[in-house]
Structure 1
Amino acid sequence: MCLHAQTGAAESLKLLYEVREPMFYRDAQGNLTGFIINRVNQASKIAGLKIDWVETPFKRQLKLVENNDEALCAVGMFKNKEREQFAKFSLSIYRDSARPSIMLAHRNFQPDKSMDLLRTLSIPGARMLKKETASYGTVIDDAIERSRITIVSTTAESLNMAKMIAAHRADFILVPEDEALKMIASIEDRQNLHIFKPVGMPQGPERFLMCSAKVSDEILQRMNRAIQKTHP
């Protein structure tokens, strides 16, 4: 069990993350940073916890939390009913209010600019590239289900998903615009990509610590009190 008390030392908690700039990444000096990393580090200091950051692929994060073999949390996760069946959630650590999702799309995918999300998802023959078990928050998840769009599933990380769109393995991915711009700048075939913004996209949903059941309620309460103190 990775959550433990040590004599004369702060208790520790294992936190899982996947590199996704600007939320989680390493700077030029190799230091782990990003706006969610920094907020969680600030809260952990207030809570008196020593954080053990472990880079972990997204799908494995979900599996480790669900397996509940040790006390750990996946950082920056969306909450939904399926995940609430096996995980404990902190208070919101961040709301993507300024980062609504857009479509990073292949240049051949050119919906009418007046189309909203459901109509865009319902275009006949459209293919959405989606990471297995990923959630985009309740509003977008519901629109995807209602549209019955063809889903191309992948376990690839975000940048490789953008490369797959450039190679036209699917028509688009859903991602915050700032991440999309960084992806475009990083891809050799960037001329094959463009950003499409469906009308009326919802604000980005809240992100949480999604913890295994072995994380004690006392530790989670300490983190929650600290999170409240870090919110602007």
Structure 2
Amino acid sequence: MRAVLALATALAPLLALRAGPAFGEPADAGEPPLRLYYYERPPFHYTDDQGRVTGLFADTTEQILHRAGLRFEWVRMPANRILLALRKEPEVACSPAWYATPQRQADFWFSKPILRDKPLIALLRADFPLEPGTTARDFFQSPKVRLLLKQNFSQGAYMNALIARMPPAQVQQVSLEVPAMVQMLKRNRADAIITTAEEAGIFVRQAGYPMSEFLVVQFPDVPAEEYRYILCKRSMSAQVRQRIDEAIPALP
């Protein structure tokens, strides 16, 4: 009996080293849920008529965190406040499906890639003169193009590099939501905005216009090589980081 008690005493510190559930197990119900910041962006992440957060990016993130055995809660927040909150607030939190720019990589932890994007497109007024087959490189080098961008948003590595070479007078950055940017486009206060093919029609309808008044441009030189990641505070524990990464299937 003394030998058994001695062995148990010796093993107790080792058994206590296991923190959190094994991969795929449910998390400890006593642990606070991981906060997931999101903004309304149909069809990728948005609140449906039943009050549930859904969409391609949201559903993919939920599947990953369920596989990782992590409890979480969605917290809606304006897009431009999410990165600020992740920088300033002390609590560990994440946000799904962001591009990994050099500045963001310096400030946050990024998971393995969870999705691969289709090439971004440009939305122009239907009367904007544009030659068929125009490349993004030629488009952004044109002195006639006035580009409208949403603050703190990345346009992907390829377009970011082209936009960085545009004269500052041709680029206007705003904190408005995209439907309001579409209205600026229609009123000839800009010539182009960058968005996704999936969202273009949604933004135009929300702005109150028919799609026939706009032109969707798919540039032949923009590659389909942009990946999206779960972005989290750097203070997230190494164990939770590992659990998230292990739950992400390899992308082709």
The offset of 1:141, in angstroms, is 0.7
Structure 2, gaps ≥5 residues long: 1-19, 21-26
Query: Which residue identity lines up with residue 192 of structure 2 in the other structure?
Result: F
Tell me the residue number matched to 2:129.
110
Question: Structure 1: how far apart are the matches of 2:249 and 2:30?
Answer: 24
The answer to whether structure 1 residue 74 and structure 2 residue 95 are counterparts is: yes
Tell me the residue number matched to 2:177.
157
Tell me the residue number matched to 1:211.
232
Question: Structure 2: how far apart are the matches of 1:68 and 1:185?
Answer: 36
Question: Structure 2: how far apart are the matches of 1:7 and 1:31?
Answer: 23
RMSD: 2.2
Within the candidate set 63, 71, 94, 2:115 is matched to: 94
Greater CA deviation, 51-60 or 158-167? 158-167
The answer to whether structure 1 residue 63 and structure 2 residue 84 are counterparts is: yes
In the TM superposition, what whole-angstrom CA distance separates every residue of 1:83-128 from its partner, at most 9, and x where no partner exists?
11111101111111xx211111123323211211011012213111
In the TM superposition, what whole-angstrom CA distance separates every residue of 1:155-208 from its partner, at most 9, and x where no partner exists?
122233223222322111111111102223333233532212222221151011
The offset of 1:23, in angstroms, is 0.6
Tell me the residue number matched to 1:41.
62
Q: Tell me if structure 2 keeps the 8 A contact 1:91–1:208.
A: yes
Tell me the residue number matched to 2:45.
24
> Which structure 2 residues correspond to residues 167-206 of structure 1 after superposition, within 5 A?
167-190=187-210, 191-203=212-224, 205-206=226-227
Tell me the residue number matched to 1:137.
156
% identical equivalent positions: 26
Question: Structure 2: how far apart are the matches of 1:218 and 1:160?
Answer: 42
Greater CA deviation, 183-192 or 119-128? 183-192
Within the candidate set 120, 133, 138, 1:119 is matched to: 138
Query: Which residue identity lines up with residue 178 of structure 2 in the other structure?
Result: S
Q: Tell me if structure 2 keeps the 8 A contact 1:118–1:147.
A: no
Provide runs of 4+ in structure 1 moved above 3 Å. Answer: 5-11
RCO higher in structure (CA 8 A, sep ≥6): 1
Q: Please, what TM-score do these two structures have when normalized by structure 1?
A: 0.88
Question: Structure 2: how far apart are the matches of 1:34 and 1:102?
Answer: 20
- Greater C-alpha Rg: 2
Tell me the residue number matched to 1:128.
147
Query: Which residue identity lines up with residue 140 of structure 1 in the other structure?
Result: M
- Structure 1 residues 120 and 226, CA, compared in 2 at 3 Å: closer, same or farther? same
- Structure 1 residues 73 and 7, CA, compared in 2 at 3 Å: closer, same or farther? closer
Within the candidate set 85, 88, 105, 1:84 is matched to: 105
Three-state SS of the structure 2 residue aligned to 1:73 is: strand
Question: Structure 2: how far apart are the matches of 1:147 and 1:202?
Answer: 20
